Amino acid sequence: MTTTNSKTTTNKRIGLIQMSCVPDTAANLDKAADRVREAARAGANVICLPELFRAQYFCQREEHALFDTAESIPGPSTERLSAVAKEEKVVVIASVFERRAPGLYHNTAAVLESDGSLKGIYRKMHIPDDPLYYEKFYFTPGDLGFKAMKTTQGDIGTLVCWDQWYPEAARETALRGANTLFYPTAIGWHPTEKAEYGEAQYSAWQITQRAHAISNGVFVGAVNRVGHEHGDVVHDGVEMRGPGDHTPQSGLEFWGGSFIADPFGRVIAQASHDKEEILIAEIDLKLQEDTRRNWPFLRDRRIDAYNGITSRFLD
C-alpha cells in the first residue's frame, strides 16, 4: 500500500518504507530493494528504510552467533541497494549491522547517492540497554559525531532510533545544515504492557520527534517496522531462534506509525500501526525558511550560556 500526501509546491518528495521482517535475511533484503524501487516509481526522491531491516530485531537476546549476520560497508546490503538507487536515480538511507573490524560492530545508517555511490555513513550514537533491547551487547557507540550530508536531493541528517529521544542530537545535526532529519527505527510494545501504556508510549515517541522539528525548524521523517517478532533469524542457512516461548504475550509488537512532520511540527503524513506501507510526502523547503523567520529559535539561542550541557549532571 502506498500513501501519498501532496502539496502544490514542492522541492522534493521523501519516502518511508514501513515494512515487516521475516527470519530470512535474504528475503528481507529482497523486500527492501523491491519497496525502494516501488517508492521511487511513486515519485519519492529520498527513501529511508527502517532500522536493521535485514533481520528480525535480534537484540531481544544476547547471542554471539548473531554477530555473523553483520556486514561490511560497502557490503551485500549497500551494494544491492546502491544498484537500485542508481537505477531509479534516488537517494537511499539503509540501516546496517556494520562489521567494522573483528569484534567491532556498529548500528550504522548508510546514505547512498542517486548515482549509486556511498555518500557517507552515520553510526548510532546512543545505544540502549533495556529488556528486549539489549543493544549494548552488539553495538559500539558511534564515533563519527552528528552529520549532515549534502546529497543531490538536499541536505539530510540521519539519526537512529534511540537517538530520537535526545534533543542534543537533533540540534547538532540541524546546526550542521540538515533540513530534513530521518530516524530509521525499530520500536514496539511489550505485549503485556500495551493495554496500559501503549497509547502513551507511541504518543511520547511521536511528540518528542515533532518537537525536534519545531525547535530546529526542520522536516522529520520517522520510519518504523510493523509486526510481532521474537527475533528469529535465518542467515546463510543457519537458523537462530529468538528467546521465550513464542506466544502472543512474548516478543515485541512493533507499532509502525511512521510519520513525516513539517517544521511547524504538523504531521503531514502518517502510517497505520499494523500494515506495511510506503509513506510519501512532498516537502517545500520554502516552508523551512518561512517558519524559521517567524520562530527564530536559532537566532535567539544563548550559545554563551550552555556550557553545562556537556556535563553528566549539574549538582
- Note the pLDDT tens digit of each residue in 57-92: 999 999 999 999 999 999 999 999 999 999 999 999
User: Distance between CA 45 and CA 16 in Å, rounded?
Assistant: 11
Q: pLDDT value at position 244?
A: 87
Q: Which residues of 194-213 are buried (b: 16+ CB within 10 A; e: fewer)?
A: eeeebeebbeebbeebbebb
Domains of the chain, with CATH numbers?
2-310 (3.60.110.10)
What amino acid positions are annotated as catalytic residues? 51, 124, 161
Q: For residues 272 and 259, is the Cβ–Cβ distance under 8 A? A: no
Task: Please report, rounded to a whole number, the percentage of residues in the chain having pLDDT higher than 70.
Answer: 97
Q: pLDDT value at position 144?
A: 97
C-alpha distance from residue 264 to each of 10, 196, 277 (Å): 16, 30, 24
Where does 91-247 show beta strands of DSSP type E? 91-101, 104-112, 118-123, 129-130, 133-134, 148-151, 154-158, 180-184, 188-189, 219-223, 226-229, 233-235, 238-240
Amino acid identity of 27? A
List the grid coordinates of 257.
506509525
- The three-state secondary structure class of 75 is coil
Question: Sign of torsion, CA 246 252 257 258?
Answer: negative
* Chain CA centroid to CA 199, Å: 21
Q: pLDDT band for position 5 (50/70/90)? A: low
Q: pLDDT band for position 4 (50/70/90)? A: low
- Note the pLDDT tens digit of each residue in 25-43: 999 999 999 999 999 999 9
List the grid coordinates of 45.
526522491
Q: Which of the pair, 52 or 5, is modelled with greater confidence? A: 52
Helix (H) or strand (E) holding 252: strand 252-255
pTM for the structure as a whole: 0.95
- Note the pLDDT tens digit of each residue in 261-291: 999 999 999 999 999 999 999 999 999 999 9
- Write out the DSSP string of 159-191: --GGGGG-HHHHHHHHHTT-SEEEEE---EE-T
- The three-state secondary structure class of 178 is coil
- Note the pLDDT tens digit of each residue in 119-154: 999 999 999 999 999 999 999 999 999 999 999 999
Q: pLDDT value at position 8?
A: 39
- 282-301 mean pLDDT: 95
User: Distance between CA 98 and CA 106 in Å, rounded?
Assistant: 5
User: Distance between CA 109 and CA 231 in Å, rounded?
Assistant: 21
List the grid coordinates of 294.
517567524
DSSP conformational letter for 127: -
Q: For residues 224 and 275, is the Cβ–Cβ distance under 8 A? A: no
Beta-carbon neighbour count of residue 294 at 10 Å?
9
Task: Please report, rounded to a whole number, the percentage of residues in the chain having pLDDT higher than 90.
Answer: 96
Q: What pairs with residue 226 in β-bridges? A: 255
Q: pLDDT value at position 315?
A: 86
